């Protein structure tokens, strides 16, 4: 493929097999959220919550693998989620979905950037904005300018660092200190973690799976990878990626035990990064910092690349007739702009990551059935399908104060699901009687 061609930026030059496909998906999905939210979950819902968080990611990827197989078969010549939406939806539905994608994209990158900012604050004694400027510049070079090719070149390094850290550090610590002091410490300071019968956690796990699947099914960068995988290997790749991904939050939860067993904690969000102060060996501190930066930078680079592609290919190109050169220039401008925006936003806001995840949970949950409808349906799609997610979202938010956040997320899911089912039945009857 010609390197000047814009398709090179979107897809790179290679088709992915199972192994490299898994590496690419792991580099995308081991994110700041994984590092920061999984400990938060463990502390809020105990060990069941920790296992539930791992299950959430694994099941989301495995379930999406089943859909991805169909996507690859039904749309063999497309490159992005926007291409598919453009083919299947009418203009109003298309623009609505693009807006949703844009909002979720920016939210997702913002969460990663937050993670990076917290880490920078803990590790380096320099102002956050300066550290973030440097960090985002690296992400801009990888995802914004390098495109898929560069992301894939670094994916193996990222995954190697991730596994090196989550394997070596817990093994080293538990061999050196044993499990007993950790158990006694947790029993003393955080006994609630050791209870398994936690009904809240079950609802949390089920809701988290729903949100996780919603997140994956509208993730631009994951869709790009679906189109990069060899058709026969799509489902297997996602299934194995799900299982392998599951091992990482599990290992992180064992790391968290090391941090909290000797006392209380101040800040739940930055808890895992406290590990830096607990590890005695400089090499392991260095490895842990590298792991965190590597995971977050890989996720931001992938998100940045996918969001830029969404803006240039699926928004700007609809209005403007662009040459390859124009597309490249607009790509640099767009990704640069997103990085500057992130720098500003991260300096101003600091919400809880898990809260943010569940705030956008309504959006993710209400999008599942409409997206499945778009992917699985063969004929033209009724214009209400994409908008059913909006109705679901509004319905969910309206019930938050009455039934609580988790149940409201399920309400969002059921409202959009019911609307889609009604449209589906109506379409079947309509087609039947028109014949």
Q: What SS3 class is residue 320? A: coil
Task: Give the span between the Cα atoms of 29 and 64, in whole angstroms.
Answer: 13
Rounded distance between C-alpha atoms, residue 225 and residue 210, angstroms: 21
- Residue 278: CB minimum distance to another protein, A: 16
Nearer to another protein, 248 or 353 (CB): 248
Nearer to another protein, 47 or 345 (CB): 47
The kind and range of the H/E element at 413 are helix 405-434
Question: 303 in the Ramachandran plot: left (φ > 0), alpha (ψ -120 to 50) or beta?
Answer: alpha
Q: Please report how close the Cβ of residue 253 comes to another protein at its closest, in angstroms.
A: 6
Residue 335 CB-density burial (10 A; 0-12 exposed, 13-18 middle, 19+ buried): buried
Give min distance, CB of 401 to another protein, in A. Answer: 34
Please state, as a whole number, how many other Cβ atoms lie within 10 Å of the Cβ of residue 366. 30
Give Dmax (Cα) for the chain.
75
Q: What residues contact 413, with CB distance under 8 A and at least 6 apart?
A: 210, 365, 366, 368, 369, 392, 396
Q: DSSP string spanning 155-223?
A: HHHHHHHHHHHHHHHHHHHHHHH-SHHHHHHHHHH-GGGG----HHHHHHHHHHHHHHHHHHHT-HHHH
> What is the closest distance, in whole angstroms, from the C-beta atom of residue 293 to another protein in the complex?
19
- Closest contact distance (angstroms) between CB of 26 and another protein is 8
Q: CB-wise, 162 or 338, nearer to another protein?
A: 162
The residue length of the chain stands at 435
CB closer to another protein, 172 vs 424: 172
Angstrom distances, CA of residue 249 to CA of 21, 208, 209, 239, 303: 20, 14, 14, 17, 20
> Alpha-carbon distance 324 to 5, whole Å?
6
In the numeric block, which tokens belong to residue 392?
């679901």
Smaller CB distance to another protein: residue 13 or 171? 171
Nearer residue to another protein within complex by CB, 202 or 322 = 202
Tokens 């898994």 locate to: 22
What are all long-range contacts of 313-318, with beta carbons under 8 Å and residues at least 24 apart? 313/6, 313/10, 313/79, 313/80, 313/82, 313/83, 314/80, 314/82, 314/83, 314/85, 314/86, 314/98, 315/82, 315/98, 315/102, 318/86
Residues that bind another protein (CB under 8 A): 17-19, 22-23, 47, 73, 76, 159, 163, 166-167, 170-171, 174, 179-180, 182-183, 186-187, 191, 194-196, 232, 240, 243-248, 250-251, 253-254, 257
Do residues 79 and 11 touch, judged by C-beta distance below 8 A?
Answer: yes
The whole-angstrom separation of Cα 304 and Cα 366 is 24
Q: How far is the CB of 142 from another protein (least distance, A)?
A: 22
Exposure letters 20-57 (e unless 16+ CB within 10 A, then b): bbbbbbbbbbbbbbbbbbbbbbbbbbbbbbbbbbbbbb
């Amino acid at each position: 493929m010609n390197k000047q061609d814009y398709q090179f930026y979107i897809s790179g030059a290679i088709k992915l097999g199972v192994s490299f496909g898994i590496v690419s998906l792991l580099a995308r999905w081991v994110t700041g959220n994984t590092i920061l939210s999984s400990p938060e979950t463990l502390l809020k819902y105990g060990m069941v919550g920790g296992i539930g968080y791992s299950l959430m990611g694994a099941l989301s990827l495995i379930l999406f693998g089943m859909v991805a197989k169909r996507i690859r078969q039904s749309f063999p010549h497309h490159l992005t989620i926007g291409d598919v939406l453009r083919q299947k939806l009418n203009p109003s539905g298309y623009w609505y979905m693009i807006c949703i994608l844009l909002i979720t994209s920016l939210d997702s990158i913002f969460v990663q950037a937050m993670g990076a900012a917290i880490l920078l604050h803990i590790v380096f004694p320099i102002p956050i904005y300066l550290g973030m400027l440097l960090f985002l510049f690296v992400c801009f070079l990888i995802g914004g300018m390098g495109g898929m090719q560069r992301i894939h070149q670094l994916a193996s390094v990222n995954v190697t660092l991730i596994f090196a850290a989550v394997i070596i550090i817990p093994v080293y610590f538990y061999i050196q200190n044993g499990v007993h002091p950790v158990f006694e410490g947790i029993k003393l300071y955080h006994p609630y973690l050791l209870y398994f019968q936690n009904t809240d956690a079950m609802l949390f796990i089920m809701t988290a799976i729903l949100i996780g699947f919603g997140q994956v099914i509208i993730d631009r960068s994951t869709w790009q990878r679906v189109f990069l995988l060899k058709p026969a290997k799509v489902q297997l790749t996602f299934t194995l990626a799900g299982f392998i991904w599951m091992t990482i939050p599990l290992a992180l939860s064992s790391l968290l035990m090391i941090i909290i067993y000797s006392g209380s904690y101040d800040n739940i969000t930055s808890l895992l990064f406290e590990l830096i102060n607990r590890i005695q060996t400089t090499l392991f501190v260095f490895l842990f910092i590298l792991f965190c930066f590597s995971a977050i930078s890989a996720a931001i680079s992938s998100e940045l690349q996918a969001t830029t592609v969404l803006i240039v290919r699926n928004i700007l190109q609809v209005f403007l007739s662009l040459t390859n050169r124009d597309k490249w220039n607009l790509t640099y401008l767009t990704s640069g702009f997103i990085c500057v925006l992130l720098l500003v936003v991260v300096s101003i806001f600091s919400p809880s990551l898990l809260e943010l995840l569940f705030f956008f949970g309504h959006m993710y949950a209400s999008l599942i059935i409409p997206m499945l409808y778009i992917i699985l349906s063969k004929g033209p799609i009724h214009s209400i399908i994409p908008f059913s997610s909006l109705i679901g979202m509004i319905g969910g938010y309206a019930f938050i104060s009455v039934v609580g956040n988790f149940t409201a997320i399920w309400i969002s899911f059921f409202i959009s699901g019911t609307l889609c089912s009604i449209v589906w039945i109506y379409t079947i009857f309509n087609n039947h009687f028109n014949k």
